[in-house]
Structure 1
């Protein structure tokens, strides 16, 4: 095999964290439908690989690029694998996975694969918490929720499948015995006919049972040379647009002693940077201990998410000491009242105060995330956002990037019933923002506007019905009926786990 098509250079740069069994059985392809650099920044990829290897499974990784046809571990061709499981984190990953199957000449649907005795395809990941219905035409099984509670059942079922010469029906039936598996070949007909399935998301409440750390450290990651450490799952906040508090289980924290132990070991593994993984890093009860330990270890740190009202001087100091010069924040809108309805009850004054403090600590640039098309958003809200961006630049002196996305209502969230904006509406608001920011004459502001096509695709994928066709062209989109999707999710057994529809805390 030519060196041009080999993962050898990538393997040489990977540093494993701890010892894991080699070899094993069965041969199992772990598919991530994005590039290697993105996948290696996803702690879920690390955790699933570790869990399977610890159970003696010969797991090997496949990424969409640069070499999708061969495994990272051994350059083994995908044709050697009878079992594929894919991590589908975001809606566009669904169609990305289908494109990989097409490239591999593996039939996309479970019906076609059964007819042609093609590989089994299982799916898990973030989409399984929100709306897994769109995958029901394609996946042999979908693991719902956290993996820790269901790995043993899955591995036992797969080994039984191989012992019985690839008996698909036996595998489907065995997996369906566990309520945290949605098995379309068994369940789809019942669901379409309106019969309840009583499936449930597996939620790991005791995070001491979770791996919670990197399996590899590599410079070829969007978090280069970083050791990732998980501190929390779920979110205490109740932002009504967000799927995390609505879909991913109650807030639960990883024990302080385990987190600090992992941080202590980071440099031993050759990490140059520590990555704290949590929906909101500042909400971790022992974040001050984390910061103190980071300083003792003299290692750089980054936080996956920072909320302005939980941002402390100590956090800003450790970020600056780590060489970070850009602070990313998400005001969502320039209007205080609309921001409060988004679950973020902090004012323009507080935002500017925090950004000024950041500049004092050595930060030179801010990247602010805003949304267009929020529920009840008016022209005045758009004008206020333009004024606010200009105000931030003038008052703080920070170079300012204002990055806009389009609000996409997601199933199971409090704002699921709100409208998705039309192209005309978004274009009008975009022109208004540009025009009014130009009027201010403010320099040092960069505006980044979203792709409506991508947001529209995300919306359609988010609201797929069971047995939907995910093939997108300009003339054909996945059919979606939000009322029926909500009904099918109820039949599946999904329940919202947020306590109420409040505006946030």
Structure 2
């Protein structure tokens, strides 16, 4: 057994008489094992007595191993009945093809026979738009694992004719999408004309949705020092976010937001503390969780380090601040996302400048010496004045930061993280165009020049060309598969591939979509009405904000709760 040294909680099963599943994260071990969703799926599948699930990752480039093998038994992918990819980021799509190729598994679904493993894929990237991968995947899991895993494995039979079995799954398990059962046609201008079933399967794919998360809190299944978080026990405190930032897909595909009860979180904390002194509370809106302050207060005098995946600038309670201080946090993060008040109205951020400045001052006063600030450039309706406002706000934050630091006799550092805006499916900005990379470079340079002479302030920014590729993969349709094949042939060289490809990538990235256009992901039913997203888009273009999700069963605003 090739188990990573230092792991706690690895699940080992005998293969005899069991269905064999390779759960593949198409990135390295340290990245994959830092993903709580991946670990949760691993645990849920292995809870089934008739299934053995083993982990597989992209081999380290420096390692002698040239093809992927499972962590638990060292077996190659071809030994498994199912190869199930867990995909969080579009940037891992090319890794998926690389893993299949080096494992001698036919790349496309139509090339595979009954002797080949079934290739499946799930994860948040697939929930948004699976179409760029449609040619390579036999079936997708659209939705949350808690709602999909048991119904799928209750019906899966490796001895049955594959096509007939996939029909049963597509018909009977909401959230299972089999691309081969659907036909796509296009208009002469390249836009989608139709997306229709060619078999007796649902015309729309209803997401798998776990209405009640309290049956089992998602926590770290395997504790390892070889991850980004280094033996941190992760606990999911909730799923979704009520604030409705218009750029954030998680705020829409996980509607309505669900929070774990304080009782369940206390039990999860106790389980984690028994294993390690590092606890990570994970969620899109950790500071919104009912009772989060009292949960943290319960460990005020314990030698426990508690970290948070996200805290809003306007929700820093004394208990949360005390937890940060006690946990010896050296850097706190604030995400204004935009520099001007106008742009924060456009994106529906719901946090004003006063809250941002107050948060910066308070965090430093509580003994946290360093700040990290998140901003985006290229947002819809952005003007040069909005770009300059990022510099202005950073300077104001630095002024508060400096004043608060002086009282403590210690000067820390501010890191500004600048990211290119990528319009995402299933959000109000799904119709918006993306800025071209040259425009984004100019905006980044403008901010960089404005901040370069400010002491104790550093700027990190993404690569606009990489953001362009992310937009292509998140907004593309089935025709993007040929580009992915080209990247594989060209050894990962995206520049060469895009230059030689007959598919025009700009068509998917830089073009504004009409609101009556059929979008590649329209066949997925997340419960949100299209008219709601369209109305939010029009409000954004007018610079008007919307109230947060009320999380009430009687609400009929977005359509999810009807």
**Shared fold by TM > 0.5?**
yes
Is the 1:233–1:252 Cα contact (8 Å) retained in structure 2? yes
Moved more, 320-329 or 343-352: 343-352
Moved more, 410-419 or 25-34: 410-419
Is the 1:33–1:64 Cα contact (8 Å) retained in structure 2? yes
Shift of residue 193, structure 1, vs aligned partner: 4.7
SS in 1 for 2:438: helix
Is the 2:262–2:292 Cα contact (8 Å) retained in structure 1? no
Is the 1:123–1:139 Cα contact (8 Å) retained in structure 2? yes
Distance verdict in 2 for CA 1:407–1:106, change over 3 Å: same
Distance verdict in 2 for CA 1:279–1:370, change over 3 Å: same
1:459 aligns with 2:471: yes
2:261 is matched with 255
Determine which of 173, 179, 182 is the counterpart of 2:177.
182
Is the 2:78–2:116 Cα contact (8 Å) retained in structure 1? no
1:401 aligns with 2:425: no
1:239 is matched with 245
Is the 1:399–1:444 Cα contact (8 Å) retained in structure 2? yes
1:424 aligns with 2:438: yes
Shift of residue 494, structure 1, vs aligned partner: 4.7
Determine which of 157, 163, 166 is the counterpart of 1:172.
166
Distance verdict in 2 for CA 1:288–1:33, change over 3 Å: same
Which string of whole-angstrom CA distances, capped at 9 and with x for unpartnered residues, describes residues 435-457 of structure 1?
2224xx32111011211111000
Distance verdict in 2 for CA 1:272–1:478, change over 3 Å: farther
Distance verdict in 2 for CA 1:69–1:424, change over 3 Å: closer
Is the 1:136–1:466 Cα contact (8 Å) retained in structure 2? yes
Shift of residue 23, structure 1, vs aligned partner: 4.8
What does 1:283-322 align with in structure 2 at a 5 Å threshold? 283-295=288-300, 297-322=302-327
What does 1:90-239 align with in structure 2 at a 5 Å threshold? 90-114=89-113, 117-158=115-156, 160-161=157-158, 163-164=159-160, 167-177=161-171, 178-188=173-183, 193-195=194-196, 197-239=203-245
Is the 2:78–2:104 Cα contact (8 Å) retained in structure 1? no
Is the 1:263–1:293 Cα contact (8 Å) retained in structure 2? no
Determine which of 7, 10, 13 is the counterpart of 2:6.
13
Is the 2:132–2:473 Cα contact (8 Å) retained in structure 1? yes
Is the 1:339–1:345 Cα contact (8 Å) retained in structure 2? yes
Is the 1:241–1:415 Cα contact (8 Å) retained in structure 2? yes
CA distance in 1 between partners of 2:381 and 2:12 (Å): 53
Shift of residue 28, structure 1, vs aligned partner: 1.0
1:37 aligns with 2:38: no
Shift of residue 182, structure 1, vs aligned partner: 0.5
SS in 2 for 1:311: coil
Shift of residue 381, structure 1, vs aligned partner: 1.3
Q: Which has the higher contact order (CA 8 A, sep 6+)?
A: 1
CA distance in 2 between partners of 1:20 and 1:363 (Å): 42
SS in 1 for 2:439: helix
Is the 1:148–1:210 Cα contact (8 Å) retained in structure 2? no
Shift of residue 192, structure 1, vs aligned partner: 7.8
Is the 2:219–2:235 Cα contact (8 Å) retained in structure 1? yes
1:28 aligns with 2:17: no
Shift of residue 237, structure 1, vs aligned partner: 0.7
Is the 1:334–1:384 Cα contact (8 Å) retained in structure 2? yes
Distance verdict in 2 for CA 1:185–1:154, change over 3 Å: same
1:490 aligns with 2:491: no
Determine which of 431, 436, 450 is the counterpart of 2:450.
436
CA distance in 2 between partners of 1:148 and 1:20 (Å): 21
Distance verdict in 2 for CA 1:70–1:21, change over 3 Å: closer
CA distance in 2 between partners of 1:431 and 1:489 (Å): 34
CA distance in 2 between partners of 1:105 and 1:154 (Å): 26
Q: How many residues align?
A: 489
Which string of whole-angstrom CA distances, capped at 9 and with x for unpartnered residues, describes residues 404-460 of structure 1?
11111111211122220012211221222122224xx32111011211111000010
Shift of residue 266, structure 1, vs aligned partner: 1.3
1:3 is matched with none
Distance verdict in 2 for CA 1:393–1:200, change over 3 Å: same
What does 1:316-395 align with in structure 2 at a 5 Å threshold? 316-395=321-400
1:64 is matched with 58
SS in 1 for 2:195: coil
CA distance in 2 between partners of 1:41 and 1:492 (Å): 28
Is the 2:207–2:526 Cα contact (8 Å) retained in structure 1? yes
CA distance in 1 between partners of 2:279 and 2:15 (Å): 30
Gaps of 5+ in 2: 186-191, 198-202, 403-411, 488-496, 537-544, 549-562
Is the 1:136–1:188 Cα contact (8 Å) retained in structure 2? no
SS in 2 for 1:108: coil
Shift of residue 77, structure 1, vs aligned partner: 2.2
Which string of whole-angstrom CA distances, capped at 9 and with x for unpartnered residues, describes residues 357-385 of structure 1?
11111111111111010111111112121
Q: TM-score, normalised by structure 2?
A: 0.82
SS in 2 for 1:448: strand
Gaps of 5+ in 1: 1-5
Is the 2:194–2:518 Cα contact (8 Å) retained in structure 1? no
Shift of residue 281, structure 1, vs aligned partner: 0.4
